[in-house]
């Protein structure tokens, strides 16, 4: 959530930057400033009334002590009238503050200065490319056919049990999943991240804290009776570990990693581009999260990008990094870099990671702060990244490594899998 100080400092710049995300913020920002004036005027008047009440209380005591009961009663009546007016002022302040919060919950984060303008994924900028493109024969199979051929993943059985988008992994397919999760967690731990095993359901406060609510409630599975949400990513419970927490400056950074199943409704996702593992309602992912000092969050962002790059390189996959344009960024992000790997049989790039800096936007919602050397409270910066999401990694591994003898396993995964080929 944007802070009032940022909005008041330069409202026109805020409106301009929101436009990079194709959000027309003029009405919202204007209304917030109006409400802030009402709130501050009410506060100033209330402070005056409270000071007046304090003086009247002293006067009443003096009159009573002097035996001037009638005059004291008159002052008491005046005091009662002022107290009634303070209630009105307090109600005005509370109402203004609530409306300010309600409006700001609907306003996205400001994009960082380095975010390019653009409306869709076609306007994203390729920052870096690496890896070797595989040379497959024309009759190379897509991963959903390879999964059937080698009995790795049963999509139809998942439909029978639950519905489309909930595959069943079997045999070496299940072992490959487990191998990837272990490899990603080990790599994150070696990079200094503390492993967390979070809940897979969260309350509404957690959803609001990281910005899934009210922006993405249509994409989340909701348990109506308990008012709980299945997590769309481990970012939600892990970042919410630090809701309402005040750190000492020396405590930062906090670095966590977590494996979780992730649940997304993905309404309206149909067609050839979402076949097989390309888009699922349930999938596995390892997440990395940092709570950072504002002075160091962009250094941390580069560190996280390097970490994800090392993973795709060790998996021997062709990859590139995209700097997302304003129109393709998430509601909460200040800047996002997507990693994509090339899926050779499908002849297309598949997103496998997003690495984002949210600056103070989530921290303001979470009340996640640190006490600085100046003894004052400051908002932390939060960052997160997929390291990595499994489905499209598996799709690319199966397709890119298919040979007449079977599907070869990258060297880094062999100790985790216990086999070097799927045949």
Tell me the binding residues for L-serine.
Answer: 233, 264, 287, 384
DSSP-derived letter for residue 324 is P
| Closest to 263 measured CA to CA, from 350, 202, 308 | 202
Q: For residue 394, give both structure tokens.
A: 């598996």
**Both ends of the chain: CA-CA distance in Å?**
51
Gap between the Cα atoms of 265 and 221, Å rounded: 7
Q: Which residues are annotated as a binding site?
A: 233, 264-266, 287, 351-354, 384
Gap between the Cα atoms of 154 and 373, Å rounded: 57
Alpha helices, H only, 22-118: 26-65, 69-104
Q: Which residues are annotated as a binding site for ATP?
A: 264-266, 351-354
Contact 288, 387 (CB under 8 A): yes
* Alpha-carbon distances of 50 from 17, 55, 83, 85, rounded to whole Å: 41, 9, 8, 10
* DSSP bridge pairs for 337: 323, 355
| Closest to 388 measured CA to CA, from 357, 351, 344, 335 | 351
| Closest to 198 measured CA to CA, from 293, 264, 289 | 289
Q: For residue 188, give both structure tokens.
A: 């994150």
Contact 326, 345 (CB under 8 A): no
Gap between the Cα atoms of 103 and 20, Å rounded: 19
Contact 282, 164 (CB under 8 A): no
Instruction: Count CB atoms within 10 A of the CB of residue 347.
Output: 11
| Closest to 300 measured CA to CA, from 206, 246, 420, 381 | 381
User: Going by DSSP bridges, is the β-strand pair 369-371/246-248 parallel, antiparallel, or unpaired?
Assistant: parallel
């Amino acid at each position: 959530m944007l802070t009032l100080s940022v909005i008041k400092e330069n409202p026109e710049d805020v409106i301009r930057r929101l436009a990079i995300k194709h959000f027309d913020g003029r009405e919202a920002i204007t209304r917030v400033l109006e409400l802030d004036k009402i709130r501050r005027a009410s506060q100033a008047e209330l402070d005056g009334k409270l000071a007046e009440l304090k003086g009247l209380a002293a006067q009443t005591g003096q009159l009573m002590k002097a035996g001037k009961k009638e005059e004291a009663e008159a002052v008491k009546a005046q005091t009662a009238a002022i107290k009634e007016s303070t209630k009105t002022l307090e109600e005005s302040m509370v109402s203004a503050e609530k409306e300010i919060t309600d409006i700001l919950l609907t306003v996205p984060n400001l994009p960082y200065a380095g975010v390019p303008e653009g409306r869709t994924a076609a306007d994203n900028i390729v920052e870096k490319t690496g890896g070797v493109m595989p040379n497959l024969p024309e009759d190379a199979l897509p991963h959903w056919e390879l999964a059937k051929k080698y009995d790795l993943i049963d999509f139809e059985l998942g439909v029978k049990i639950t519905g489309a988008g909930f595959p069943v992994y079997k045999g070496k397919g299940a072992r490959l999943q487990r191998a990837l999760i272990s490899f990603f967690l080990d790599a994150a731990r070696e990079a200094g991240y503390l492993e967390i095993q979070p809940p897979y359901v969260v309350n509404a406060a957690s959803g609001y804290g990281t910005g899934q609510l009210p922006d993405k409630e249509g994409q989340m599975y909701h348990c109506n009776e308990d008012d709980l949400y299945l997590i769309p990513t481990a970012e939600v419970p892990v970042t919410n570990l630090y809701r309402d927490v005040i750190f000492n400056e020396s405590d930062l950074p906090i670095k966590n990693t977590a494996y979780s199943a992730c649940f997304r409704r993905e309404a309206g996702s149909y067609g050839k581009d979402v076949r097989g593992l390309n888009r699922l309602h349930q999938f596995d992912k390892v997440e990395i999260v940092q709570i950072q000092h504002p002075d160091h969050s962009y250094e941390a962002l580069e560190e996280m990008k390097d970490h994800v790059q090392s993973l795709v390189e060790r998996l021997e996959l062709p990859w590139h990094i995209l700097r997302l344009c304003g129109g393709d960024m998430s509601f909460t992000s200040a800047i996002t870099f997507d990693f994509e790997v090339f899926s050779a049989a499908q002849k297309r790039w598949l997103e496998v990671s997003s690495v984002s800096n949210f600056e103070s936007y989530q921290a303001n919602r979470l009340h996640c702060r640190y006490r600085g050397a100046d003894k004052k409270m400051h908002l932390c910066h939060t960052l997160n990244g997929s390291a990595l999401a499994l489905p499209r990694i598996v799709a690319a591994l199966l397709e890119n490594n298919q040979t007449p003898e079977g599907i070869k396993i990258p060297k880094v995964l062999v100790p985790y899998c216990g086999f070097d080929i799927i045949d």
